[in-house]
Structure 1
Amino acid sequence: MPEAGDIAPGTAPSGAQPGVFNDPYRAYNFKLVIQGVTEGHFTACSGLGIKIQVIKYREGGTNQVVHCIPGPVEYADVTLRYGLTASHEVWDWLMTAVAGRVERKNVSILMLDSDGVSEMMRWDLINAWPSEWRGAPLDALNREAAIETLTLVYETLQRA
């Protein structure tokens, strides 16, 4: 009879091991890839999320029971913050949407290991396009970098 710690032949061990602590990934080690080109000037990325709407209904004759079934899936908008530079790629992409010619691109958010080089996880935003832009707040008494904000919408999200 197998012991509790034995692994069946031909199966890989799970990620959790007794007595082994796995450090969480660092939130500051990420990069953004748009259509295969690394855009390294982003300072923050927020809003990744999926929500499945719940459809509730009552069964006829059994009013005390409320059944729940999955409804439409909604993907949260992703907000990117980046330092204002002379680069025009992001601005030009936004302007195509402003002109009514939405240019959908595949965008990947890569979580990097603590070395800042090795890819540990990836989220792929399929058919993304910019839906909102906020300019950097300007303040003559402030010495911070000028940070702009860009919001992306997308059709589906994949995790690799």
Structure 2
Amino acid sequence: MSDDGSVQSTTVWPLPKFHFQVKWDSEVMSFQEVSGLDVEAQPIEYRHGDSPEFSTIKMPGIKKSGNVTMKKGVIKSDSKFWDWFNEIKMNTIKRVPVTIRLLGEAGGPIMVWTLANAWPTKIETTDMKSDGNDVAVASIEIAHEGIVVANA
């Protein structure tokens, strides 16, 4: 007999990704898109000289995180991206924690990603077209020193 869905578990379904919140230092900001929440362990290939196998083994090496890109609509008199970017002076910048929360149906956090010591590396402003009908969207690329993931 096929399952009619009347007794489905609430824990087996994948989460939708469209309801999220970004907290930048102590300020909650609205973004259209967040991407780049990835981490990898670089492999180390090794073979000792008296190994009977004529191939290398692979071991986990240094962990590496990519930059995170966030996109938002351009709003009149909002220059937070540029203000933060302009704080870069001779290898110094205010580093802040950035927290991305994937929200559930009731609005509470389901999964939380926290970027440690984040700072802007690139700002990309919108392209402009005289015959376009799109919203102006700017993006900021953020470097950080690691991601901490927590399930709420």
Q: Which interval holds the TM-score relative to the shorter structure?
A: 0.7 to 0.9
Separation in structure 2 between the aligned mates of residue 125 and residue 99 of structure 1, nearest angstrom:
23
Deviation per CA, 1:22-72: give whole Å up to 9, x if none: 2222111111101121012x1001111001111111122224242222211
SS of the equivalent of 1:92 reads helix
1:109 aligns with 2:100: yes
- Counterparts of 1:1-160 in structure 2, within 5 Å, are 20=9, 22-40=12-30, 42-62=31-51, 63-85=53-75, 86-97=77-88, 100-115=91-106, 117-160=107-150
SS of the equivalent of 1:90 reads helix
**TM-score scaled by length of structure 2:** 0.85
Structure 1: where are the runs of 5+ without partners?
1-17
SS of the equivalent of 1:72 reads strand
Separation in structure 1 between the aligned mates of residue 91 and residue 47 of structure 2, nearest angstrom:
44
Q: Counterpart of 2:95 in structure 1: which amino acid?
A: R
Distance 1:131 1:67, change over 3 A: same
Deviation per CA, 1:108-156: give whole Å up to 9, x if none: 01101134x2111100000000001111011111111100111000001
Of the structure 1 ranges 29-38 and 120-129, higher mean CA displacement relative to structure 2 is found in: 29-38
User: In percent, how many aligned pairs have the same letter?
Assistant: 23
Separation in structure 2 between the aligned mates of residue 99 and residue 90 of structure 1, nearest angstrom:
19
Q: Counterpart of 2:138 in structure 1: which amino acid?
A: E
CA shift for structure 1 position 102: 1.2
Cα RMSD after superposing both structures: 1.8
Q: Counterpart of 2:18 in structure 1: which amino acid?
A: Y
CA contact (8 A) 2:81 2:123 kept: no
Separation in structure 2 between the aligned mates of residue 27 and residue 19 of structure 1, nearest angstrom:
21
CA shift for structure 1 position 98: 6.2
Structure 2: where are the runs of 5+ without partners?
1-6
